[in-house]
């Protein structure tokens, strides 16, 4: 399972929307055809650790906003590679999470402090918890 503060999730969604307005829309993950189905959201990325990142178009030399999962930040967890492999899989990957769905989930649980994401081979489960 991966945990992100609700504050960080909101910041990533907001930053993606701002970047989209300033720079011409939303991006698809690498390898997907652009011009189809781009919409506000965030990407759950597994590569060197696991993190969420904004998906708004970026200006030249601009970097997306990124927050690592509390359990899987290579800077703070020396076992992050093993944790990522166990809970995300061995390959690098990107999963899109729709902003509208995330905002509805967050609004429905106003006292929640963290978004948790659990993955299996066939599903992703989202839950809000208070810590």
Domain span including residue 6: 2-129
The structural domain count of the chain equals 1
What angle in degrees, to the nearest 10, is found between the helix axes of 6-23 and 99-108? 150
First to last CA, the chain: 15
- Closest among 59, 24, 19 to 41, alpha carbons compared: 19
Binning pLDDT at 50, 70 and 90, where does residue 28 land?
Answer: confident
pTM for this prediction: 0.91
- 58-110 pLDDT tens trace: 999 999 999 999 999 999 999 999 999 999 988 889 999 999 999 999 999 99
**CATH value at residue 90:** 3.10.150
């Amino acid at each position: 399972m991966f945990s992100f503060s609700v504050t960080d999730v909101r910041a990533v969604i907001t930053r993606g929307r701002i970047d989209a307005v300033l720079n011409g829309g939303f991006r698809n993950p690498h390898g997907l055809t652009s011009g189809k189905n781009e919409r506000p959201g965030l990407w759950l990325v597994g590569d060197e650790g696991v993190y969420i990142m904004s998906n708004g178009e970026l200006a030249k030399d601009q970097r997306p906003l990124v927050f690592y999962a509390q359990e899987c930040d290579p800077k703070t967890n020396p076992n992050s590679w093993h944790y990522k492999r166990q809970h995300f899989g061995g390959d690098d990957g990107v999963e899109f999470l729709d902003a509208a769905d995330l905002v509805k989930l967050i609004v429905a649980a106003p006292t929640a402090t963290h978004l948790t994401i659990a993955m299996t081979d066939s599903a992703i489960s989202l839950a809000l918890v208070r810590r």
